[in-house]
Amino acid sequence: MTSQSLLYFEDFTPGRILNSGSVAVDAAAIKAYATQFDPQPFHLDEEAAQKTFFKGLAASGWHTMSMTMRLLVDGGLPIAGGIIGAGADEIRWPRATRPGDTLRVQCEVLEARPSKSRPDQGLVKLRCTTLNQNDEPVQTMLPNLVVPRRPKP
């Protein structure tokens, strides 16, 4: 990533849309994540998952969150200094992430305001939607980020 492609506070104008690349989801990855972090039957075993609320294998919401973060770090939000979160509001999983899904993230800038106490940075609120291959949302959230201001030449 070149310094010209990095985003600074001044680049976050309300209404701007930023898009990530994509990631394919498979059953092995769902099970590996669940084994370590969320070992519930609907994340671990196809047969057992058929008898649950999900009626089939589904990724943990936290796995979907982790894949979202990876997509943002890999280029969806190329913020100078990295993606520094100050929290997130309204995290939702409107539908399950399934084996065979291909995910991508679309973020819309909702608000950008300069920091009152730190003139070298600002606060940015986004609406990030993780979409599957059918453009159906599998996750929505409103992250609040600390973003550096562009250095003066």
Helix (H, G, I), strand (E, B) or coil at 46: helix
Query: What pLDDT digit, counting tens, does each position of 18-71 carry?
Result: 999 999 999 999 999 999 999 999 999 999 999 999 999 999 999 999 999 999
CA 41 to chain centre: 25
Let me know if residue 153 belongs to a domain. no
Domain count, the chain: 1
Indicate the burial class of 16 (C-beta count within 10 angstroms; 0-12, 13-18, 19 or more). middle
Let me know if residue 37 belongs to a domain. yes
Let me know if residue 113 belongs to a domain. yes
Let me know if residue 17 belongs to a domain. yes
Tell me the residue range of the domain where 20 lies: 3-148
Let me know if residue 93 belongs to a domain. yes
* pTM given for the model: 0.94
Let me know if residue 89 belongs to a domain. yes
CATH code for position 46: 3.10.129.10
Query: What pLDDT digit, counting tens, does each position of 79-109 carry?
Result: 999 999 999 999 999 999 999 999 999 999 9
